[in-house]
Structures are given as structure tokens and as C-alpha cells.
Amino acid sequence: MASLANTPPLTRSSVINAHGLIKPYIHTTPVQTNATLSTLASTPQSADALKGTEWESQQPAKPNIKLFFKCENFQRIGAFKVRGAFHAVKRLIEEQGIEETRRRGVVTHSSGNHAQALALAAKTFSIPAHIVMPSISTPSKIEGTRAQGATIHFSGSTSQEREAVVADVIKQTGATLVPPYNHPDIMLGQGTMALELVQQAEELIGKDGKLSVHADGKGLDAVIVPCGGGGMLSGNAIALHGTGIKVFGAEPSFQGGDDARRGVEAGQRIESVKTLTIADGLRTPLGDYTWRIISDRAHVTGLYAVTEENIKDAMRLVLERMKCFVEPSAVVGLATILYNEDFRSMVENEAGEEGWNIGVVFSGGNTTIEAITKIFAPVQDKRAERQEGVLGMDGRKEAENLAG
């Protein structure tokens, strides 16, 4: 990476400058609305839905919410990561010069989206790229990285295992490390999506005031962002700092995947996470740079966690109701809005009857039909069991024939 001594300050103006630097190389992804999902977000959960949860005995929250989806699944390589990767590479070229950068090459470790992003950025400027990927990475992400001409090195799934292989690559090649999230240049690059989201939401509301909960046509009140290593969440928080727009983070709770939430609650960064959540892009802990922003309530107002079932349910809604192809990591923010009663009660209490306009970041869409089928297979199996119980074996065979 470019020297930390020359890194721009972590301010909104630096994000604006970063946007100008990378704009020729990225897509301005669309912002979409969906009346059905906004209605669901504003509808109290049923007693059955809360049964067995920590909120079972509570009165369901009744927030008033309108949703604005920043669709980074339509970004180049199918995810937001190109923003940080292009900013980091451009800054590196500015500092080292293009010939030295090409001579040394770049290296990173990633489960897939940053891998593809850095491979694309490096290819754009004819820079050799070495990518360390966990062997359990999604096959489509591995192939997407390889398609950009990068050299792939496989590792274990923990951050320590990845970093050990990176160290070997640097020793062998002299490549410059471009980390997936824990660097100011990455954070500033990722924050550029917030600039677009706010402006695009205002433009949509300007054309149709009914999209807003506010009679005066006010724009976003809050933004919720998936959180893994924290580059995107911290970048969005920096970009929106001082604007009055609140920023929230969302994580998977499975096997301790909500390390940011737990760390902030305890007042100490959790440095190691080992979770096999279906939200595979969020399996990493916060870095020391991202921690500084995310643990600061002046930047990130709150962090919330959701279950694997919450993620699946939100993903199903996006696929079926929005007709939008997303990966599991992309929907943890929406899952929080729909199913986390702590978040929903907070919105109800703070926003009152008027409610909030909330920007929701869909971080990426790098998954496959096979992976989605596997995620929802247990649901399909249970449905088949119920069908057999009602129709009997002959009836089930008839239904299968009709379906075929």
C-alpha cells in the first residue's frame, strides 16, 4: 500500500477526493426502491415469528420505514470492493510510479470479492497480482479471480492462515500488500458509495415524494451496511460523518461472526474469528484501522446481528420480490431491519410516527445457482416432507411429475 505517512486524513473531503480518482474505473450503481419490502419493514412481526427468540415476551415493534437499496451487486466484478481496490492501486502508482509498481506487483488475501477487485485493478494497469484465497472460497469467486489473470495461492480460512501465505508471497516476489479492508486508502475508496447513495435517494424522492416517509421530501435518515473486516462500514461512516445521517453495521451471529458488535460492547477489538456463516464475505475480524472508526459512536451509531435463518429469509425476499441477484453477505442489513427487534424498536423510538428513510447497501452478488440451491435445500426438503404427508407417496409423485 501507499505509505501511511502520506495517507489522506479519514474525512468526508478525502472520500470526495477518492471518488474523483476512481470514478473513471467504476460503475455508479443504481439505487432501487421496493414497496413490498418497505411495507414488510413497517409491519410488526407476528408472535409466531418471535417465538423462541430473545424478544418472545416483548410487544413487536412498529417502525415506519422506507427503504433505498444501493445495488453494489451491479458493480464491476459484482461487488463494492472495486472501489477500494482502484483507490489503493491509484494511490500506490502515485507514490511508487507505474514502472516500480509493475516491477514489484501486488498481493492480497481475500475470500473472493476483494480478490477479484484487486485482480481487475491490477490488470487495468498491467500490474502482476498475487491473490491468497481460502481453499473453501466460493468456486465462482475463485474462477472470477483467475479470469482477471491473477496468480492464486490457496490458504486456510482464518485471517492468520491467510496472512502467513501472504508473507511467503512477499518474501518470494517483493509484491506490495494491498489489504482487503484494514487501510485508510481502502476505507476511503469504499466510502464513495455513500456519496452516490445519498444523492441518488434525494433524486428519487425529488421525482416522487411518496417514496419518502417525510412530507417535506427529506432524504435519508440512516444507512445500514454489512460488516466483516469493516472497510465498507468505516468508509461509509467517514463519508457521512457530520451530515446528520446515522450509520449502522450489520453482522451474522453464527459462530461468533458478530465480532464487531461484541468487541464494541466489551470495549476491546476481537482479533480472531472463525465462523462458517453463509455470509462468507463477512467471516473476517475488524482491523485496527477499521476498529478506530467503527468503535466510535460519533461515526457508527450501532451494530446489530442476525441469524442464518434471518439471512436466508431476507435473501429469499430479495430474489423473489426484487428480482435482484445477491449473495448472502449482501442482505444482512435488510435482515436486521426486518427481523432484529432491537433495531426495529430503536427506529420506532427515535423516529416516532414519522419514521425513517433508510439506505441499505447490497454489497455484492457473487454467488451461483448451485450455492443458492444448497442454501435453500433444507427448506425444499421440508416442503417435500409436508407434501408427502398431505398427498401420500402417489400424490407426491404426481406433484413431481407436474413440476417437471
Task: List the catalytic residue out of 66, 81, 141, 246.
Answer: 81
Backbone angles phi, psi at 102, to 5 degrees: -70, -35
Rg of the chain's alpha carbons, rounded to an integer? 22
Residue 212 bears catalytic tag: no
* b (16+ CB within 10 A) / e for 68-94: bbbbbbbbbbbbbbbbbbbbbbbbbbe
Q: What is the grid cell recorded at 379? A: 427448506
Residue 68 vs residues 33, 55, 132, 221, 403: alpha-carbon distances, Å = 5, 27, 35, 11, 36
Residue 35 vs residues 168, 206, 300: alpha-carbon distances, Å = 51, 17, 27
Task: List the catalytic residue out of 14, 42, 110, 111.
Answer: 111
CA–CA distance, 161 with 395 (Å, rounded to integer)? 52
Which runs of consecutive H residues, i.e. helices, occur in 125-230? 139-147, 159-173, 184-190, 192-207
Q: Which residue has the cell 417435500?
A: 384
CA–CA distance, 48 with 69 (Å, rounded to integer)? 28
Residue 81 bears catalytic tag: yes
CB neighbours of residue 309 within 10 Å: 12
Which has the closest alpha carbon to 355: 61, 49, 30? 61
CA–CA distance, 395 with 403 (Å, rounded to integer)? 12
Q: Annotated active-site positions, please?
A: 81, 111
